[in-house]
Chain A
Amino acid sequence: MKEYKFGYIHSIETMGLVDGPGIRIVVFMQGCMLRCLFCHNPDTWEKKSNNYMSSKQIVDEIRKYRPYIESGGGVTFSGGEPLMQSEFLLDMLKLCKKSGIHTCLDTSGTAYNKRYLKEILKYTDLVILDIKAITEKKYKKMTGKSMDMFNYFLNELNKSNNKVWIRQVIIPGINDNYEYINKLKEYLKQFKNIEKVELLPYHKMGIEKYRKLNIKYRLNAEEANVDEVKKLEKLFSDNFQI
């Protein structure tokens, strides 16, 4: 009998229509090693939660929604940082692929266990990769960590030939200008297989969670204007066809 892996999840959202193509079941996994200033999910930072489940339990849950996700949808593993529980994640990905479910990994490209990374990418149909910053200095400032892990991930991602969607949160006063966007476009040239670039307007709706968790909110910025962000996003449509 197969032994299923166990892991910690934060929650399962049964209808995500914005994290990957089609209708998606989004599994929010627990744990992240980054401490991004703009993070709206501080409740997923800790390694553990009360929700300790087996890969089979989770995939059984996902399978219940087959009529909704079978045409063009699937599952998205998000977080937290799903790669932080690499072995558990891999187990779930394998089970999903066995059931013919489209898999998507919403990640910052960090916190993985190197041993499993290649295989994880093998069982992933689409990677949604969050760009935190494009220079070592700014990355460190934004996330509290060095860029080494991210760079290694990027390398593996390119080798894997996986399809990629890029995400970048736009924060007024930090990266909401044409200069940065042009640099980002240049930076993204080293990626293979980018299908889409999404710019997400920064918002403060996570602040309430910080208050409840008694964590200091350190970013002092305005919320981004949705229309302005859309304008910036249009700059990518020439280079990156959807």
Chain B
Amino acid sequence: MEAWENFKGSKWQKNIDVNDFILSNIEEYLGDEKFLKGISKKTYKVWNKCKKLLSKEAISGVLDVETFIMSGIDNFEVGYIDKSNEVIVGLQTDEPLKRIVNPYGGLRMVKQALDAYGYHLDKELETRFREFRKTHNDGVFDAYTPEIKLARHNHLITGLPDAYGRGRIIGDYRRLALYGADYLIEQKKLDLSKITNINEETIRLREEISEQIKALELIKKMASRYGVDVSKSAVNAREAIQFTYFAYLAAIKQNNGAATSIGRNTAFFDIYIERDIKRGILTEEEAQELIDQFVIKLRLVRHLRTPEYNELFAGDPTWVTESIGGMIDDTHSCVTKTSFRILNSLNNMGPAEEPNLTILWSKNLPENFKKFASSMSIKTHALQFENDDLMRPIYGNDYAISCCVSALALGHQTQFFGARINYPKVLLYALNGGRDEITGDVVIDGIDEIEGEYLNIDDVLKQFDKVLRKTVKIYVDALNIIHYMHDKYAYESSQMAFLDTNPEYLMAFGLAGFSTIVDSFSAIQYGRVRVKRDERGITQSFDAELDFPKYGNNNDNVDLIAVNLAKRVYRELKKYNLYKNAIPTLSILTITSNVVYGKHTGETPDGRKAKMPFAPGANPSHGADKMGALASLSSVAKIPYKDCCLDGVSNTFSISPEALGSEDVRATNLVNLLDGYFKSGGHHLNVNVLNKSLLIDAMNNPSKYPNLTIRVSGYAVNFNSLTREQKEEILARTYHERI
């Protein structure tokens, strides 16, 4: 059978161009979900085995670790869950959920993780590694300046990927399926031959391309262990999915990046699936089976992490983000039957955190798909939504989301991940002569002390600008060092092999504690803030004597402060030359680390007490948004994405099913809510339509659910404003209703 038989288009046949292949062959689907099929017998058996393993893992934290072999594309024996029932094969190691030791990012972190779970690295392996190999972490600390170390130690710059894999790269794994490894190798060799002018930059590039070629050869070997030949193009749907998965599998055998997204595969798979269905060699049940089993594999992705890491990110996330939907142009979407099939995996196997299913939302998406995605979100609260109408003009139609919110043009762009600045600390340093409010260390030099009982906005701004300027410089220096060393000691050849030889690099900077600093500035400007200092002269507490507007109420007086604070950082970032000529991008995103960052931060002028958590991402501060959900959403939607926060503006929105209206209209209401938010310029929305377990979590961690509203007949209240007893009572009721 010809691999490309019946496929249309020619551009993609002459050059590597997966997008052209998709545009030439996609069959948009405008219908509803009624064609979908349930779980197949085989999938049921495979998933049942996984469920048992997963519950065992949940008890011990880690099911098993391979301690005699280190990470690598082809270093492990084959592994299966239930060989005779697996239609998509391949595991990271020889057993499901057995984790890999990857020391290239840093050995110390690996040792800590092993210790925590009672494992020990094989002695000889460790000795030899230590003797012969330097890690990314070693390299970084050889080059770090004293200023960086101090800023890092004081949590001014925090979450830097200097001790483990940086992640955030997305290979265009579809390339392996469409072209086969041999053609990709040929193309890389061609690229290599063209680089003849030798200088430091091209030496590095030649070495990297050679590494990529070796990686492709190793992927062929790894796949052949499973009896699959990936040297040529995939000939049918099963192979297309299998090859794509193998390309991704190589990435997670070799690397342990914090977030390793899978890309945007549904339209690509759909073309193969529909061709097979037309040929009469695949049924709808089998198509669903392929997708479900692909999803199972993504649910089993694991990396070895320390317990501290898990605390920071609330669990053991891998961010296997799959982007679904989006438009091709104003009238045609990328919605296919397979967009429905992948969401249907949540019906067939129940909700799960991974893969991180992300809907690229456009006002022009087919109505049936909008409604289905919304109803699946309500049912599972497992989806997130991002604004395709905002991203598509910037990244083109074939982009995917890396980690949570960061768009990348697939195959043509990649990212240097860069954690974030603890932004409220920048303000506190401005108030304290560059000293850290907790340790008292002078972290930023050359800052004048601000004196007097009341804070004056002009005095504060003068020092703030100086602190920010110096902080950004330290931050940029740190990221340049980190990514130089990561390329040198922990290069992701298996992922870079699926990117253009000269991709565009984005360096992703970030901000944490956003709402806290915005409200703090509002307090200083409008609230007549009186300050108390301790014996060191460092601010200890703040008292706003007047009411001041807070971010999250759709009030321009403070929302413009937010816009300004984001723009100031980006303006500073643009001043620098970055490693590999990367373009700076900025995110307002914390995932769940807002709690830990808050712990290391003293009291702030907005009235937030020392050590209390920040709000997540770009969310308004807990309890500050008093005008209802739309006002809160509207404030966040004002933060500029284009020309400023191109790495993403994250917003987490929680609502109870009851508050979303009666059952028959909930999905429509959510569609209208998403349409409204994205038309207003919002970038990203995490939607939690909460069930009981989430309500319990909300009761114990109120700050995670700032917008949780509940219907109490006649009007709605914020869940957090209720007493413990009332919450328990509502919990009982909600649960009762659901039985």
A contacts, CB < 8 Å to B: 12-19, 21-23, 25-26, 28, 40-41, 64-65, 67-69, 71-73, 78, 169, 200-203, 205, 208, 226-227
Given contacts A12-B627, A17-B659, contact A40 B634 (CB under 8 A): no
When distances are taken between beta carbons in the complex, the residues of chain B under 8 Å from A28 are: 715
Which stretch in B414-422, B440-448, B670-678 binds the other chain?
A: B670-678
Set B672, B712, B723, B733: member contacting A73, Cβ < 8 A? B672
When distances are taken between beta carbons in the complex, the residues of chain B under 8 Å from A67 are: 675-677, 679-680
Among B668, B676, B736, the one with the most A-chain Cβ atoms within 10 Å of its Cβ is B676
Given contacts A13-B628, A17-B660, contact A71 B737 (CB under 8 A): no
Given contacts A12-B627, A68-B630, contact A40 B669 (CB under 8 A): no
Q: Which residue of B lies closest to A199 (CB)?
A: B713
Given contacts A15-B630, A64-B554, A227-B736, contact A205 B712 (CB under 8 A): yes
Among A13, A78, A200, A208, the one with the most B-chain Cβ atoms within 10 Å of its Cβ is A13
Set B662, B672, B723, B737: member contacting A226, Cβ < 8 A? B737
When distances are taken between beta carbons in the complex, the residues of chain A under 8 Å from B723 are: 208
Q: Is the CB of A18 within 8 A of B634?
A: no
14 residue pairs bridging A and B, Cβ less than 8 Å apart: A13-B716, A15-B628, A17-B665, A23-B673, A26-B628, A41-B715, A68-B676, A71-B675, A169-B714, A202-B713, A203-B713, A205-B717, A226-B736, A227-B737
When distances are taken between beta carbons in the complex, the residues of chain B under 8 Å from A73 are: 672
Is B225 positioned at the interface, with any CB of A under 8 Å from its CB?
Answer: no
> Given the complex of chains A and B, what is the CA–CA distance between A32 and B627 in angstroms?
22
Q: Is the CB of A17 within 8 A of B676?
A: no
Given contacts A65-B676, A227-B736, contact A18 B661 (CB under 8 A): yes
Rounded to whole Å, the gap between the CB of B324 and the closest CB of chain A is 23
Given contacts A41-B715, A227-B736, contact A14 B631 (CB under 8 A): yes
Among A21, A67, A72, the one with the most B-chain Cβ atoms within 10 Å of its Cβ is A67
Rounded to whole Å, the gap between the CB of B687 and the closest CB of chain A is 13
When distances are taken between beta carbons in the complex, the residues of chain A under 8 Å from B630 are: 14-15, 23, 25, 65, 68
Q: Is the CB of B672 within 8 A of A22?
A: yes
Q: Which residue of A lies closest to B729 (CB)?
A: A223
Main secondary structure of the interface of B (DSSP, over half): helix
Q: Is the CB of A13 within 8 A of B715?
A: yes
Q: Is the CB of B669 within 8 A of A22?
A: yes
Is B722 positioned at the interface, with any CB of A under 8 Å from its CB?
Answer: yes
When distances are taken between beta carbons in the complex, the residues of chain B under 8 Å from A169 are: 713-714
B contacts, CB < 8 Å to A: 554, 627-632, 634, 658-662, 665, 668-669, 672-673, 675-677, 679-680, 709, 711-717, 722-723, 726, 733, 736-737
Q: Is the CB of A71 within 8 A of B628?
A: no
When distances are taken between beta carbons in the complex, the residues of chain A under 8 Å from B722 are: 205
Q: Is the CB of A40 within 8 A of B712?
A: yes
> Given the complex of chains A and B, what is the CA–CA distance between A41 and B716 in angstroms?
12
Q: Is the CB of B669 within 8 A of A23?
A: yes
When distances are taken between beta carbons in the complex, the residues of chain B under 8 Å from A22 are: 665, 668-669, 672
Q: Is the CB of B712 within 8 A of A203?
A: yes
When distances are taken between beta carbons in the complex, the residues of chain A under 8 Å from B714 are: 40-41, 169, 200
Set A15, A21, A69, A200: member contacting B713, Cβ < 8 A? A200
Rounded to whole Å, the gap between the CB of A85 and the closest CB of chain B is 19
Q: Is the CB of B716 within 8 A of A16?
A: yes
When distances are taken between beta carbons in the complex, the residues of chain B under 8 Å from A26 are: 628, 715
When distances are taken between beta carbons in the complex, the residues of chain B under 8 Å from A203 are: 712-713
When distances are taken between beta carbons in the complex, the residues of chain A under 8 Å from B628 are: 12-16, 26
Among A68, A72, A201, A208, the one with the most B-chain Cβ atoms within 10 Å of its Cβ is A68
When distances are taken between beta carbons in the complex, the residues of chain A under 8 Å from B554 are: 14, 64
> Given the complex of chains A and B, what is the CA–CA distance between A227 and B739 in angstroms?
11
> Given the complex of chains A and B, what is the CA–CA distance between A72 and B672 in angstroms?
8
Rounded to whole Å, the gap between the CB of B369 and the closest CB of chain A is 17
Q: Is the CB of B733 within 8 A of A68?
A: no
Set B716, B733, B737: member contacting A18, Cβ < 8 A? B716
Rounded to whole Å, the gap between the CB of A15 and the closest CB of chain B is 4
Which 5 pairs, one residue from A and one from B, show the smallest C-beta to C-beta distance?
A68-B676, A14-B628, A14-B630, A15-B629, A200-B713
When distances are taken between beta carbons in the complex, the residues of chain B under 8 Å from A15 are: 628-630, 673, 709
When distances are taken between beta carbons in the complex, the residues of chain A under 8 Å from B665 are: 17, 21-22
When distances are taken between beta carbons in the complex, the residues of chain B under 8 Å from A41 are: 714-715
> Given the complex of chains A and B, what is the CA–CA distance between A166 and B714 in angstroms?
12
When distances are taken between beta carbons in the complex, the residues of chain A under 8 Å from B726 are: 205
Rounded to whole Å, the gap between the CB of B558 and the closest CB of chain A is 15
> Given the complex of chains A and B, what is the CA–CA distance between A25 and B722 in angstroms?
23
When distances are taken between beta carbons in the complex, the residues of chain A under 8 Å from B629 are: 14-15
> Given the complex of chains A and B, what is the CA–CA distance between A208 and B712 in angstroms?
14
Rounded to whole Å, the gap between the CB of B739 and the closest CB of chain A is 10
Given contacts A64-B634, A71-B675, contact A226 B733 (CB under 8 A): yes
When distances are taken between beta carbons in the complex, the residues of chain B under 8 Å from A227 are: 736-737
Rounded to whole Å, the gap between the CB of A43 and the closest CB of chain B is 11
When distances are taken between beta carbons in the complex, the residues of chain A under 8 Å from B669 are: 17, 22-23
Q: Is the CB of A68 within 8 A of B673?
A: yes
